[in-house]
Structure 1
Amino acid sequence: MKRTKTKAEAPNFSHWEINEYVPALVTWLYNKTAANASRLYRKRFGVGLAEWRIIAYLGIHDKGTNAEICDYIGLDKAAVSRSISSLRSRGYLVTRPRNGRDIEVRLTPQGLKLGNRILAVALEIEENLMHGINATERRAYIKTTNAILRNLIRVQRFVDDAYLRSRKLT
C-alpha cells in the first residue's frame, strides 16, 4: 500500500493514494452516476441531465431566473439558457420578464408531471447507489458531503489567490 505524504515531504506520485483523494472520488462518483442517469433520462423522458436539474430546481423552488438556477446547480449560463429554451419549446416551462432584464422561469403542469416521473427514477438510482449503506452511514455521508460543499468557497479563494499570484510572476 502506498503511503500518503506527510507535511515534510514534497508531493510525489509514488506516495500519492489517488483512491483516497477526495476530489477524484467525487469526480468519479459524479461522472459515472451522471452518465448513466443522463442516458436513462434521455431514453425514457427525452431530457438530459442539465434539463432534469433545471426541472428539479423549479420543482423545489417554484420559480427562478437563469442566474439563480446557474448559481444553485452549478451549470454555466449557456447550458442553462439552451436547456431552458429546449424545455420551453416542448411546453415544460413558461417564462416572463422580471425586473428589467431578468427572465423568470416556471414549470408548466406538464413540466411538473414530467419532473415527478423523473424524480421517481432518480430516487431509484439513489437507492441503487446507496445499496448496502446503513442509515447511520448515510447520515454521516450526507453530513460530511455538506461540510465539503460549504468548503467550496475556500477552494474558490485559494484558486483566485493562486491565479493572482501567478499573474504577478509573468
Structure 2
Amino acid sequence: MSDFDLDAFLPYQVNVLAARMSREFAERYRARFGISVAEWRVVAHLSQTGPVSVREIHARVDMDKSKVSRAAQRLEAAGYLRKRPHPGDRRLVELSLTPKGQAMMAELTEIAKAYQTDLAARLDGEKPAFQAAIQRLLDRDGAEN
C-alpha cells in the first residue's frame, strides 16, 4: 500500500472542488437559460472583453477551439451573439453579444452573484484568505507557463 494520500493531494482537491463548483453553478444557469458550461464561458468572456475572435476566447478560457466554435454556433442560433469577419484578420470571425445576449448576461450576473454569496457563506468568513491563496497559486502558475 502506498503512503500517497490522493484525497489530501492539493491538485486533486482543487480539481474536484472546481468540478463540483462548476456543476453547481451550471445547474443554476442551465435551469434558467438551458445553456452549457461552454456557452456560459463564451458569453461571460464576451461580456468582459467585447468583440473578440474564437482564438482569443480559446486562449483566455482554456477551452478547445472546436468547443468554443460549437458554443458560438448555438449561441448565434439562439440570438445571443453575432459573428462578423474580424476587422484585423479576414481569416478570423469576431464574436459579439447581441442585445438579447447582453440581457441574458445581466441575468447571469445576478445568478453568479447569488452563487458567490452562497459559497462565501460556506467559507464562514474565510473567503478573503481563500481567494488570496488561490490568486497566489494562479499568479505563480501563470509566471511559470
Deviations 1:95-143 (A, max 9, x none): 1111221000000111011011111111221222232133541442343
Match of 2:45 in 1: 57
Q: Could you tell me which residue of structure 2 aligns to residue 129 of structure 1?
A: 119
1:91 Cα deviation after fit: 0.8
Counterpart CA distance in 2 for 1:127 and 1:94 is 32
TM-score with structure 1 setting the length: 0.75
How many Å separate the matches in 1 of 2:78 and 2:141? 34
Q: Larger C-alpha radius of gyration, 1 or 2?
A: 1
The whole-number CA distance in structure 2 between the counterparts of 1:110 and 1:149 is: 36
Q: Percent identity?
A: 27
DSSP 3-state at the match of 1:14: coil
Deviations 1:53-102 (A, max 9, x none): 11110000011100100110011111111110000011110111112210
Could you tell which deviates more after superposition, 57-66 or 130-139? 130-139
In the superposition, the TM-score normalised over structure 2's length comes to 0.86
| Amino acid aligned to 1:91 | G
Partner of 1:160: none
Compare relative contact order (CA 8 Å, sep 6+) and give the higher one, 1 or 2: 2
Which runs of 5 or more structure 2 residues have no equivalent in the other structure?
none
CA contact under 8 A between 1:55 and 1:111: conserved in structure 2? Answer: yes
May I ask how many residue pairs the two structures share in their alignment? 141
How far, CA to CA, are the matches of 2:20 and 2:41 in structure 1?
A: 16
Gaps of 5+ in 1: 1-12, 154-170
Secondary structure, in 3 states, of the residue corresponding to 1:105?
strand
1:4-153 equivalence runs, <5 A: 14-98=2-86, 99-131=89-121, 132-134=124-126, 136-150=128-142, 153=145
Q: Give runs of ≥4 in structure 1 deviating > 6 Å.
A: none
Partner SS state of residue 52, structure 2: strand
